[in-house]
Amino acid sequence: MSTLQSFDPADGSLVWEGEIADANAVAAALLRARRAFAAWGALPIAARVEVVERYRATLEERKDALAQTIARETGKPLWEARGEVASMIGKVGLSIKAQAERAGEQRSDMPFGQAVLRHRPHGVMAVLGPFNFPGHLPNGHIVPALLAGNTVVFKPSEMTPATGAAMADCWAEALVDHPHVFQCIQGARATGEALIGGHIDGLLFTGSAAAGAHFRRVFADRPDVILALELGGNNPLVAWDAADVEEAASVVVQSAFITTGQRCSCARRLIVPDTAFGEALVQAVAALADRLVIGAWNETPEPWIGPLIHEGAAANARACFDDLAGRGARVLRPFTGIEGRSAAFVTPGMLDVTGVFVPDEEIFAPVLQVSRVPDFAAAMEAANNTRFGLSAGLISGDDALWERFLVECPAGVVNRNRPTTGAAGSMPFGGLGESGNHRPSAYYAADYCAYPVASFEAPDASGNAGALGGRLKP
């Protein structure tokens, strides 16, 4: 038996230790999930709603402990972890509403009877979660999948097993009368490989673009397996004009550095006009970044951001930062460690990459690349110079520029004068290009958790013979 461990990135203390699911354990979990599917999928929706509402009540009861687990395991400040748990709780009501609206039953009268639209669950769903929102993001697949009548085998990120286990405990309470409808297995890549290599009907994945590309290849010849891919981005933020430079700088800082840059929707590229406004904004962003409180999740004063997920992530991001500097980018704000802190702590970095060739890669850390452009057409060209299409933002008071930005910018989340990371749970969430596969999650998760069945229904076979009319041989 091999063990998995997770650690608090702020101080290296052990957070969780437990057994890794090997290939046999994964196969057994999938078999149990398949056996549980028939009864669970056949339940009336009201019975499944009751279960997810019990889950919501358990989350509510345990919200403080769960927030602490998330904060300790990811390093994010407690205020942010509390917000994550609140999103998990909110997801239940939203998913019930979305299920009814997008995957419910519709009937319309026809001369012969009725046309009926129903939705049916796929079967066994594998869910693979990322580390950055280890509760909220897998929860966003799991709640709609279970509501729709699927059974779920969930593997949390190997960096956040404690959060996965705590979430699984909440489901165990809610599903006490429905064993094996939800199962959590722990492990890293090998466990994930065993899961997707088993008999599944869907893979609901939130994680890196590289893993998403791998899954597309793995399932190329398996149209029977539903793939929902929520991947990374290299998100642009065009800051064109603002009455108040400090307010605009605050939008930029929140877009680029929240969660220590570890949100898929973080702005990675800031595009500004090559004017006095552009220069003033860049300076204001750097000055604001200097004032950010960085610390451990439970420190006083409360930090705005914590460390990266681990020391290796900081080393990788530093290598990317140094690579950009080596290509000729000018360092506007260094990306450094913090004296007296674990090597997972970093300060936000900024580089001016104007005129420099930079790889179109997501740096999952607080690193902001600034480009200065001569006009708005050049700004749009720079913004769209990416294979991704997750989030994008415009800072401008000009309505005409916003209309143009909306039309010309292919991304799933496009915000104006608000951080690129802002997204409502009552809306769909997902990206284009390498950021996903046109199966947006959040409010639209109901769409990929069930398939539609369209029926013509008549109480008996009468009336069909008349349809042949007089066109029959005597």
Active site residue 230: yes
Q: Name the segment binding ligand NAD (CB under 6 A); options: 33-41, 76-84, 154-162, 321-329.
A: 154-162
The H or E element spanning position 105 is none
Check residue 155 for interaction with ligand NAD (CB under 6 A): yes
Contact 297, 80 (CB under 8 A): no
Contact 130, 85 (CB under 8 A): no
Check residue 207 for interaction with ligand NAD (CB under 6 A): yes
Rounded to a whole number of angstroms, the minimum distance from the CB of residue 219 to ligand NAD is 12
* Residues linked to residue 114 through DSSP beta bridges, in sequence order: 109, 457
Check residue 80 for interaction with ligand NAD (CB under 6 A): no
Q: Name the segment binding ligand NAD (CB under 6 A); options: 208-216, 279-287, 290-298, 377-385.
A: 208-216
Check residue 130 for interaction with ligand NAD (CB under 6 A): yes
Of the candidate residues 264, 281, 320, 382, the single one contacting ligand NAD (CB under 6 A): 264
Q: Which two tokens stand for residue 11?
A: 């101080």
Q: Name the segment binding ligand NAD (CB under 6 A); options: 44-52, 111-119, 224-232, 332-340.
A: 224-232
Check residue 317 for interaction with ligand NAD (CB under 6 A): no
Rounded to a whole number of angstroms, the minimum distance from the CB of residue 405 to ligand NAD is 21
Check residue 168 for interaction with ligand NAD (CB under 6 A): no
Contact 131, 309 (CB under 8 A): yes
Check residue 188 for interaction with ligand NAD (CB under 6 A): yes
Q: Which residue is nearest to ligand NAD (CB)?
A: 192
Minimum CB distance to ligand NAD smaller for 171 or for 215: 215
The rounded distance, in Å, linking the Cα atoms of 397 and 240 is 9
Minimum CB distance to ligand NAD smaller for 62 or for 439: 439
Of the candidate residues 84, 158, 201, 434, the single one contacting ligand NAD (CB under 6 A): 158
Q: Which two tokens stand for residue 118?
A: 């129903």
| Residue 251: closest CA among 393, 372, 423, 376 | 393
Which string of b and e fits 284-308 if b means at least 16 CB within 10 Å?
Answer: bbbebbeebebbbbeeeeebbbbbb
Of the candidate residues 168, 231, 314, 401, the single one contacting ligand NAD (CB under 6 A): 231
Check residue 8 for interaction with ligand NAD (CB under 6 A): no
SS3 content of the chain, % helix, strand, coil (to 5): 40, 20, 35
Residue the block writes with tokens 């909220």: 136
* 438 Rama sector, left if φ>0, alpha if ψ -120 to 50, beta otherwise: left
Of the candidate residues 37, 345, 364, 444, the single one contacting ligand NAD (CB under 6 A): 364
Q: Please give the torsion angle defined by the CA atoms of residues 251, 253, 256 and 259, in that order, rounded to the nearest 10 degrees.
A: -110
Please report, as residue ranges, which positions from 373 to 412 form the binding site for ligand NAD (by CB under 6 A): 390
Check residue 211 for interaction with ligand NAD (CB under 6 A): yes
From 80, 230, 362, 434, the catalytic residue: 230
Strands 349-352, 367-373: pairing kind:
parallel
Q: Which two tokens stand for residue 150?
A: 């699927």
Three-class DSSP category at 65: helix
Angle of helix 23-42 versus helix 189-197 axis, rounded to 10: 50
Rounded to a whole number of angstroms, the minimum distance from the CB of residue 421 to ligand NAD is 10
Helices (H), 149-275: 161-174, 189-197, 209-218, 245-257
Of the candidate residues 232, 273, 278, 303, the single one contacting ligand NAD (CB under 6 A): 232
Of the candidate residues 132, 150, 386, 415, the single one contacting ligand NAD (CB under 6 A): 132
Rounded to a whole number of angstroms, the minimum distance from the CB of residue 315 to ligand NAD is 15
The rounded distance, in Å, linking the Cα atoms of 320 and 365 is 10
| Size, binding site for ligand NAD by CB under 6 A | 27
Report, as residue numbers or ranges, the catalytic residues.
Answer: 230
User: Where on the chain is the footprint of ligand NAD (CB under 6 A)?
Assistant: 128-132, 137, 155, 157-158, 188-189, 192-193, 196, 206-208, 211, 214, 230-232, 264, 362, 364, 390, 431
